[in-house]
Structure 1
């Protein structure tokens, strides 16, 4: 009898455990809440919480501490709730979010509001006093070999594959911040670091699978925050590469769409895919057909990159809050926004404005890859070009792709005179500066992670490299420099693909045959590139006349281009001789800028230059002269 009773009790215990486990499986349904936490005292008091879990939409929601729920949006997908609350006057600490069914509590979750950093809202972004160093973190330096391959990501490290993961990471960047700083650069733009869990070609991280998580092969969220902290100790700025136009096909939301119109889904395409036409001019072409506009803006950037529908207000709020979350969490100093002009233009203008309203001194530069100055100027904040069709992007900065176009050809055009080739290309580019509402807030560059290496284009001719960089460092705007150019790194994407222009930096991996991070590890040729770059950009650091001065330029003669940067207290004369012959310049032509100056200091050579009628300039050489 006792044994039967014991068995009966044992069976009841087992049944209770089974019921409990069954209850947990039914009721513990919240898998994600995003943002994962927030801050008190934000300027915009409305916070949209995305709650995700199996069949979560059937529950009612309530929040403790008299937090006002503004709206609860349930979509056609029952696994989502979008809960908008007011955070006005909320204090740092935890609140409780309770889910219930017919009055019965099912699950209660704690949600945290953190204290903001002091003066967080008035942080200064990057500006024309900065010089920006661009890296691809997977190819820069491997500081932690233990995270080269990780259990939670599919693609594993294979350094023999030019298009594979090579193991560079955040720790590798931190380890070499002094190298970047000593070289003369004050800010760092890293291509994206968020998780990209595509099975192949994931190293570039533009097909992101989790917008709140650093890819574990790069490190952790805490590592990213530590990178910003270490940079700020060196008075350097961190710029995040933010992607609004597309996500990766493996993003958890793409796998279970909140709404069908979360992405641009093409009914006639395979799995909703149709490639963009890339005709960005349809964004502002007053004669464009709707068909062509749709084909550009709503087409996918690639098969693994679904095109996001920013006109969906839930998505727009999601990416706006995510961007603000990273600024606040990691203490960022700026954004570079990928493929900015492919977005829904009205929606991306709202996204940009929301960020700049929260951080008025922040800076955002958009990738507007166009080949006409008026078309690029259209996208800068307060553009008179954009005003023609009542559009204002609110975007503070754009990238000067037309200058890049000129830079990649003109130093190979060496004839003494040509109407439209050689240095006239640079001159003509700057004649259109009147189109831009904020000319000093333009990003100027010779190359980046999507273009052929500048030293490949100019066949390792260091004289041409010096001409290129003398220009980039002294014209209006913010110079951006691509890692490895300072050691003459080569790369030809046309012949060998993108991996060739994204080579590993020598010395960034244990066991590398050479270490270009040190003078001893560089070849004589590499040191020649490096030393020139270091002298030039360190000189630029303290030159307000370059950062914010005006420009006066002279029409090139004999393929020699002369311009001055000047303000009320200082003048700098820049001479670029693109000819294969030495040239003698009649200084009387530049009298309105030289004025009473009798001599100047040439900063590249250190020589004193007398202004005594003529100035001799060696073939294929540059001079940067501080007038005294």
Structure 2
């Protein structure tokens, strides 16, 4: 009887302990980091009643919040050797719960000096759920709500990390040197979770994509090929199903609008989704990013841009709260160090609190000075985009520096989405739209660190805009392959995939043919491609494979000339090489006189067309067919 009673007491005690310390984040760390402090987030029922102690490590600060289920413990990590350290929780000087063993791992040699993506790269953007299903066993998972159903355009289809790994040969043959995958962290929304921007656990890969170890394996496989991995990181918001949203550490962990609802603190230990936070008031963003720098803006407009939620299922994180900001910094660094990442693409960058996101960015770049981060600055004015790039003279007018190395050239994207349908040139229509984009390059602090693209996962498909006209596709790809900056292409367009955003996002995020067993054709293989797919792929592969080995395109200077008769001519050059690019956007063939370009052509009399290998006499004129791009290496 005593033995049974003892067992019951033991089980009761261990059950209580399990409730008292449920999570420690970050789950482990590394020695030798630039940052000499680490803030551990301890989570468990009423855990704030206890006093932490860590053998062999100095605790600098203990922070309790209005929610007793959290403790934020800041420890001194300077000169801490790799190893395991016991974290105790004490009450009245005595151990109150089981100890927690915290690990410091040996940092990989050279980790701090890793080289991020740059203008020598081609970035291949893919959506993992729609790219390839390498492991059908994880299409659905008991720990997540939404199951795979390929019949739903907005549902999960089963693509995963293994599917990406299985097709690295294909991506490499295309000429790509880096992969940007849309987010892979857990998104437990009950529906439409495949895009994974509403994350529910930011220390865990969604099990329907694979495991944390699988993600690290993807990075390792890329590095074996001298390729790079970019993580799509979300600082602006989490999903409504995030476990911390259900039990907020502080009332102001997310932006709430009490004037829109009752002012009560969200129910602790709530298991009812985001209902607790919604009771405190929700408001949507007005999406007016201009309010971040407009000197005439009203406080209310700026508040609803920055603090408003992106959508109702994505609670807006408060980066002006030091606990939130530090949590995001440490989480980002953890993923870089754990996985071996080569860069971030940061979603909705300009919707964040700008001082907070600037501090987040600087902390990462201080830890990894040769890393690269590109922010989504979806604006349509070059001065406004340039404001957000590191060391911008425009930002300096307001004493602001984002520390963000790279921004996305959305104004070029805007031009590429219409210009090749404008056969007749006018003052502001036709290929002059592209020329006009580059005349404002003086606004940017680093023109080689701009992301250039014709489309992505949020825009119309290029092949839909141009109705499958491969000549127009070739002009768009030639342009982003030869101008300054870092080119990015979107999965499937290289085989002619199209999609109409007006039909819903699912239509621009279709499954890659051949990524699923039983698909009618397998476009991952040369033998499996249709004639149309082959024409698209062969051109794209040849173009970007040439670019991969052409340094003058990566870092050379640019000189361009006013378009005439809807023909745009520009040169990329350095001390050793000169490349001449001609884009005939006219519906008619053109004869271009070359004497006008004498300052760029110099002593050269001929050029070699880089894709066909043909020699072209450039001493007097160049004949170029309608809707054609031509790349000449001058000889």
TM over 0.5: yes
The question of 1:149 aligning with 2:145 is answered no
Distance 1:21 1:615 in 2: 86
The question of 1:121 aligning with 2:128 is answered no
Residue equivalent to 1:529: 536
Residue equivalent to 1:91: 81
Hey, which bits of structure 1, 4+ residues long, moved more than 3 A? none
Q: Secondary structure at the match of 1:273?
A: coil
Residue equivalent to 2:92: 102
Residue equivalent to 2:359: 350
Distance 1:88 1:332 in 2: 24
Distance 1:61 1:372 in 2: 51
Structure 1's unaligned 5+ residue stretches are 1-9
Distance 1:350 1:277 in 2: 24
Question: What is the total number of aligned residue pairs between the two structures?
Answer: 615
Equivalent in 572, 587, 598 of residue 565 of structure 1:
572
Residue equivalent to 2:213: 222
Which deviations, in whole Å up to 9, do the C-alpha atoms of 1:53-72 show, x marking residues without a partner? 0100000111101x111100
Report matched runs for 1:466-615 at 5 Å.
466-494=474-502, 496-615=503-622
The question of 1:134 aligning with 2:141 is answered no
Give how far 1:611 is off. 1.6
Q: Secondary structure at the match of 1:238?
A: strand
Which deviates more from structure 2 when the two are superposed, residues 332-341 or residues 272-281? Answer: 272-281
Distance 2:17 2:528 in 1: 61
Which deviations, in whole Å up to 9, do the C-alpha atoms of 1:275-328 show, x marking residues without a partner? 100000000000000000001000001111000000000010000000000000
Residue equivalent to 2:465: 457
Residue equivalent to 1:431: 439
Report matched runs for 1:271-282 at 5 Å.
271=278, 272-282=281-291
Residue equivalent to 1:27: 17
Residue equivalent to 2:267: none
Equivalent in 206, 210, 228 of residue 237 of structure 1:
228
Q: Secondary structure at the match of 1:411?
A: helix
The question of 1:192 aligning with 2:183 is answered yes
Distance 1:432 1:63 in 2: 55
Give how far 1:14 is off. 2.7
Residue equivalent to 1:76: 66
Distance 1:592 1:182 in 2: 37
Q: Secondary structure at the match of 1:336?
A: strand
Distance 1:376 1:122 in 2: 28
Equivalent in 384, 402, 405 of residue 396 of structure 1:
405
Distance 1:181 1:27 in 2: 50
Q: Secondary structure at the match of 2:412?
A: helix
Give how far 1:18 is off. 2.3
Residue equivalent to 1:267: 258
TM-score, scaled to structure 2: 0.96
Distance 1:500 1:295 in 2: 31
Give how far 1:25 is off. 2.8
Which deviations, in whole Å up to 9, do the C-alpha atoms of 1:118-157 show, x marking residues without a partner? 1000000000000000000000000000000001010000
Residue equivalent to 2:449: 441
Distance 1:517 1:15 in 2: 64
Which deviations, in whole Å up to 9, do the C-alpha atoms of 1:135-188 show, x marking residues without a partner? 000000000000000010100000000000000000000000010001100000
Distance 1:611 1:362 in 2: 42
Give how far 1:15 is off. 2.5
Structure 2's unaligned 5+ residue stretches are 262-277
Report matched runs for 1:398-413 at 5 Å.
398-413=407-422
TM-score, scaled to structure 1: 0.97
Which deviations, in whole Å up to 9, do the C-alpha atoms of 1:310-360 show, x marking residues without a partner? 000001000000000000000000000000000000000000000000000
Give how far 1:273 is off. 1.8
Distance 2:468 2:162 in 1: 31
Q: Secondary structure at the match of 1:51?
A: strand
Distance 2:298 2:146 in 1: 42
Give how far 1:21 is off. 2.2
Give how far 1:268 is off. 3.6
